[in-house]
């Protein structure tokens, strides 16, 4: 704690022992240390996100090994063009996000709000496309596990016993049902992350609009940005695995 700064400015309210920035919390030595600490915390959270989705990717890989034929066939029910469109939408939204962080850092309030709004629009487009994809799958009966009814042959055609033995049995849909269980679980969890992202983006957009962020304090924008980029990164892996492999 430097005592010199107290001479420069009187005590601000709240935690502001430095009397400089109302966002400064007294248990940190400097604003920079406070910023770095928040960032480390965010990265620790992102590491848990990697592991959360990683577990699902491992499960997907295992089941693809078990039902190679069904998984490849089930891929063809997903519309590649819609997947590619969503990929582009998310990549562009990542760019607008990083531009929002940049604008906040360089004290450009209007630009910050504009880029955040554009990011939210992209997120909504993504969800809209996903809605069309999901409703088409619902109508065709391409549903997870026991709810799957797309093929005339349904699950009763599979023999009793461990599912391991079923991959080559005609009419048994274990493989397809498993594929769509993973599809809905992974893209659904990713979609929930998008919804949470929209809420976070709206929150910081409103704060940015009030002029709460500046080059001296833009931590929330930066951290939401990191979250948004990891959501984009997860989709970068989901897209080829679900839409492209054939």
Q: Should residue 199 be labelled a site residue for another protein when binding is judged by CB under 8 A?
A: no
Q: How far is the CB of 242 from another protein (least distance, A)?
A: 11
Q: How far is the CB of 230 from another protein (least distance, A)?
A: 8
Residues 136-165 that bind another protein (CB under 8 A): 159, 161-162, 164-165
Residue 162, class by beta-carbon neighbours within 10 Å (0-12 exposed, 13-18 middle, 19+ buried)?
exposed
Q: Should residue 46 be labelled a site residue for another protein when binding is judged by CB under 8 A?
A: yes
Q: Should residue 30 be labelled a site residue for another protein when binding is judged by CB under 8 A?
A: yes
Residues 58-117 that bind another protein (CB under 8 A): 58, 61-62, 64-65, 68-69, 71-72, 80, 84, 87-88, 91-92, 94-95, 97-99, 102, 105, 107
126 vs 143 by CB, closer to another protein: 126
Q: Should residue 211 be labelled a site residue for another protein when binding is judged by CB under 8 A?
A: no
Q: Should residue 14 be labelled a site residue for another protein when binding is judged by CB under 8 A?
A: no
Residue 217 forms beta bridges with which residues? 214
Interface pick for another protein out of 12, 15, 16, 39 (rule CB under 8 A)? 39
Q: How far is the CB of 70 from another protein (least distance, A)?
A: 9
66 vs 147 by CB, closer to another protein: 66
The DSSP result for the chain, as a single string, is --SHHHHHS---STT-TTSS-TT--TTSSSHHHHHHHHHHHHHHHHHHHHHHHHHHHHHHHHHHHHSHHHHHHHHTTS-HHHHHHHHHHHHHHHHHHHHHHHHHHTT-HHHHHHHHHHHHHHHHHHHHHHHHHHHHHHHHT--SGGG---SSS-GGGSPSS-GGG-TT-TT--HHHHHHHHHHHHHHHHHHHHHHHHHHHHHHHHHHHHTT--BTTB-HHHHHHHHHHHHHHHHHHHHHIIIII--
Q: Should residue 168 be labelled a site residue for another protein when binding is judged by CB under 8 A?
A: yes
29 vs 135 by CB, closer to another protein: 29
Interface pick for another protein out of 129, 136, 155, 226 (rule CB under 8 A)? 226
Q: How far is the CB of 46 from another protein (least distance, A)?
A: 6
């Amino acid at each position: 704690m430097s005592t010199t700064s107290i001479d420069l400015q009187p005590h601000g309210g709240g935690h502001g022992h430095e009397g400089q920035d109302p966002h400064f919390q007294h248990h940190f030595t400097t604003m920079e240390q406070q910023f770095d600490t928040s960032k480390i915390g965010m990265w620790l959270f992102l590491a848990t996100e990697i592991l959360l989705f990683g577990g699902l990717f491992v499960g997907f890989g295992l089941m693809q090994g078990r039902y190679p034929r069904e998984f490849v066939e089930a891929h063809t029910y997903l519309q590649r063009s819609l997947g590619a469109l969503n990929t582009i939408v998310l990549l562009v939204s990542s760019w607008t996000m990083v531009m929002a962080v940049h604008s906040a850092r360089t004290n450009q309030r209007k630009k910050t709000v504009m880029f955040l709004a554009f990011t939210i629009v992209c997120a909504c487009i993504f969800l809209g496309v996903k809605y069309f994809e999901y409703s088409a799958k619902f109508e065709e009966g391409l549903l997870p596990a026991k709810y799957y009814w797309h093929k005339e042959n349904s699950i009763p055609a599979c023999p009793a016993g461990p599912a391991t033995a079923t991959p080559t049995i005609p009419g048994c849909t274990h493989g397809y049902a498993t594929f769509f269980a993973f599809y809905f679980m992974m893209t659904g969890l990713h979609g929930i992350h998008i919804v949470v992202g929209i809420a976070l983006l709206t929150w910081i957009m409103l704060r940015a609009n009030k002029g709460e962020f500046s080059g001296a304090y833009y931590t929330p924008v930066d951290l939401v940005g990191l979250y948004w980029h990891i959501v984009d990164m997860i989709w970068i892996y989901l897209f080829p695995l679900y839409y492209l492999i054939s």
